[in-house]
């Protein structure tokens, strides 16, 4: 028997079902595995029973608790991985035995990860009609060709 955070007790099958759901399995697949449904068993019946188990408050609470725990672990792992990378880049940047290009590249990567540099280019697109574009091109051509009195491009 498994006891939830609010004191409810789950059967081993309910606990296995909740664990499988929290791990990302579908309700039907989790039910079939946790409740040992025979290989030839009806998926429709399993779907019906899986739905009933999923609606039980103590099972819902256990799934929520497990998902929150997984999210916390995932976030901690990502933070540690990010910090490990930054720590190693800092070590490369200050290691005087490294070539200057390696040290500069490490600093560049650190700066980018902190948002100090951006490779993004901002482009503003202005909607213009074909006649406006044609007029602007004619004006530019005339100014480039140096004619102030005569319009060379008509």
Q: What is the pTM of this model?
A: 0.45
What pLDDT score does 67 carry? 86
DSSP per-residue letters across 26-69: -HHHHHHHHTT--TTS-HHHHHHHHHHHHTSHHHHHHHHHHHHH
CA distance 104 to 138: 48
Structure confidence at residue 48 (pLDDT): 93
Residue 30 near residue 62, CB atoms below 8 Å? no
Whether residue 1 contacts residue 11, with contact meaning beta carbons closer than 8 Å, is answered with yes
Q: Which pLDDT does position 54 carry in this prediction?
A: 92
- pLDDT bucket at 38, cuts 50 / 70 / 90: confident
pLDDT in tens, 70-129: 888 887 788 778 888 888 889 999 999 999 999 999 988 888 888 887 767 778 888 889
The confidence score (pLDDT) of residue 11 equals 92
Residue 117 has a pLDDT of: 75
Q: Which of 20, 39, 41 is nearest to 31 (CA)?
A: 20
Residue 76: per-residue pLDDT = 78
Tens-digit pLDDT profile for residues 46-73: 999 999 999 999 999 998 888 888 888 8
């Amino acid at each position: 028997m498994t006891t939830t955070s609010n004191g409810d007790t789950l059967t081993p099958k309910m606990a296995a079902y909740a664990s499988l759901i929290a791990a990302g399995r579908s309700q039907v697949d989790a039910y079939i595995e946790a409740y040992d449904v025979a290989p030839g068993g009806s998926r429709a019946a399993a779907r019906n029973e899986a739905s009933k188990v999923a609606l039980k408050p103590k099972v819902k609470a256990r799934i929520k608790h497990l998902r929150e725990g997984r999210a916390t672990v995932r976030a901690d792992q990502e933070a540690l991985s990010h910090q490990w990378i930054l720590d190693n880049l800092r070590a490369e940047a200050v290691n005087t035995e490294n070539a200057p290009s390696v040290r500069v590249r490490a600093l560049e990567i650190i700066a980018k990860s902190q948002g100090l540099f951006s490779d993004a280019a901002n482009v503003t697109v202005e909607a213009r009609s074909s006649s406006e574009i044609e007029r602007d091109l004619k004006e530019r051509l005339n100014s480039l060709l140096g004619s102030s009195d005569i319009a060379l491009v008509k």
